[in-house]
Every structure is written in C-alpha cells, then in structure tokens.
Amino acid sequence: MARGQSRDDGTFAPALNDHALGAAVLGLAESMIRERVIAQRTNAPNPFTDEEIRAVFDAVMNGVGG
C-alpha cells in the first residue's frame, strides 16, 4: 500500500499517521502472542481464545476507521 493510500481511500481516519498505526497494530499482535507463549511455557491456561483475538482486532480496526 502506498503511503497515504489508507487515508485517501477512507480506510483509516485522516488524522492517523500510517506508520504510528502500523506500529500500534504490530504491538497489539506481539503482545497477544507473547501472552500466549508465556502461558504455554508456564503451563498456565491460554489467556484468550482465537475468537477473542479476532474480536480485539476487529474493535481496534473499526475504531480507527475513516
């Protein structure tokens, strides 16, 4: 995707910086993966389901819509 295209086509709110949004979404994914890995390595229950992860991503992406 070309820089600014997400703003131009209305996917994301114009006030959002593409790079900042990308970093935030990546951080969200990394955090949830880390929590799952820690739980697995310590024999703790899975902290959230696949459906819960999808729901979080949906909520975040819908919240940054243009």
Bridge partners of 12? 65
Q: Does the predicted model carry a pTM greater than 0.85?
A: no
Confidence grade of residue 64 (pLDDT, cut at 50, 70, 90)? confident
The DSSP-derived string for the chain is --TTHHHHTTSB-TTS-HHHHHHHHHHHHHHHHHHHHHHHHTTPPPSS-HHHHHHHHHHHHHHTB-
Sequence-distant (6+) residues with CB within 8 A of 46 are 36, 39, 40
User: pLDDT tens, 1-50?
Assistant: 455 566 567 778 888 888 998 999 999 999 999 999 999 999 999 999 99
